[in-house]
Amino acid sequence: MSSPEKYTDLHDISFDISVEDCFSNLRPHPKFSHCTFENYIPDENFLSQSMIKEKLQESLNSMKDSDYPNAAPVKKFFPLFSRKKSKTKNSDKIQKHLYIDGSYGIGKTHLLSACYNKCENNKAFLSFGEMNYFFHYLGVENCIKHFSSLNLLLIDEFELDDPAMVHIMSKFFRELDKKTLVITTSNTLPADLGKGRVVSLENFGKQIGNIIESFESFVVEGEDYRKKHKILRKSVSENNFNDAFAGYEPKDKPKTKIGFESLNKILESNHPFKYYAIPSKVEAIFIDGLRPFVQLNNALRFNQLIDVCYYYNTKLFIKGSCDLSDLFPPELLESSFQKKLYRCLSRLDELAVFFKG
pLDDT score recorded for residue 201: 45
Range of the domain at 76: 31-219
* Same-domain status, 92 and 118: yes
Residue finishing a domain among 198, 219, 240: 219
* Same-domain status, 343 and 273: yes
Q: DSSP secondary structure string, 166-194?
A: HHHHHHHHHHS-TT-EEEEEESS-GGGTT
pLDDT at 126 over 80: yes
Which residues, 6 or more positions from 37, have their beta carbon under 8 angstroms from its beta carbon? 53, 56, 57, 111, 114, 118
pLDDT, tens digit, 9 for 90 and up, residues 176-193: 999 999 999 998 877 777
pLDDT at 29 over 70: yes
Of the candidates 279, 282, 296, the residue with the CA atom closest to the CA atom of residue 331: 296
Q: How many CA atoms does the CB half-sphere of 55 hold within 13 Å?
A: 20
Residue 260 belongs to a domain: yes
CB 114 within 8 A of CB 35: yes
Residue finishing a domain among 200, 219, 238: 219
Angle between helix 128-138 and 140-147 (nearest 10): 120
pLDDT score recorded for residue 75: 43
Indicate the number of domains in the chain. Answer: 2
* Same-domain status, 108 and 169: yes
In sequence order, which ranges of the chain are alpha helices (DSSP H)? 19-24, 47-65, 108-118, 128-138, 140-147, 163-175, 201-213, 225-228, 238-247, 260-268, 277-281, 296-312, 330-333, 338-351
Q: Is 232 exposed, middle or buried (0-12, 13-18, 19+ CB in 10 A)?
A: exposed
In this prediction, residue 144 has a pLDDT band, given cuts at 50, 70 and 90, of very high
pLDDT, tens digit, 9 for 90 and up, residues 217-256: 999 999 877 665 554 455 556 679 999 999 999 999 999 9
* Same-domain status, 253 and 159: no
pLDDT score recorded for residue 338: 87
pLDDT score recorded for residue 230: 52
* Same-domain status, 214 and 235: no
* Same-domain status, 152 and 247: no
CATH number of the domain that 300 lies in? 3.40.50.300
* Same-domain status, 210 and 260: no
pLDDT at 86 over 50: no
281-294: burial string, b at 16+ Cβ within 10 Å, e else: bbbbbbbbebeebe
Residue 215 belongs to a domain: yes
Residue 157 belongs to a domain: yes
Residue 240 belongs to a domain: yes
* Same-domain status, 243 and 196: no
Q: Which is more confident, 42 or 4?
A: 42
Residue 23 belongs to a domain: no
Query: Which strands form 352-356's sheet, in the order they lie side by side?
Result: 255-259, 284-290, 315-320, 352-356
Residue 68 belongs to a domain: yes
* Same-domain status, 242 and 163: no
Total residue length of the chain: 357
Residue 225 belongs to a domain: no
Residue finishing a domain among 219, 243, 271: 219
Distance, CA of 39 to CA of 33 (rounded, Å): 12
pLDDT at 160 over 60: yes
Neighbours of 212 (CB within 10 A): 15
Average pLDDT on 126-146 reads: 94
Which residues, 6 or more positions from 167, have their beta carbon under 8 angstroms from its beta carbon? 207
Of the candidates 233, 234, 232, 256, the residue with the CA atom closest to the CA atom of residue 245: 256
Distance, CA of 26 to CA of 116 (rounded, Å): 10
Helix, coil or strand: residue 259: strand
Helix, coil or strand: residue 312: helix
pLDDT score recorded for residue 1: 44
pLDDT, tens digit, 9 for 90 and up, residues 299-340: 999 999 999 999 999 999 999 988 899 999 999 998 888 888
Predicted TM-score of the model (pTM): 0.86
In this prediction, residue 293 has a pLDDT band, given cuts at 50, 70 and 90, of very high
Distance, CA of 247 to CA of 73 (rounded, Å): 41
* Same-domain status, 211 and 234: no
* Same-domain status, 171 and 242: no
Distance, CA of 8 to CA of 44 (rounded, Å): 45
pLDDT at 143 over 90: yes
Residue 3 belongs to a domain: no
* Same-domain status, 283 and 337: yes
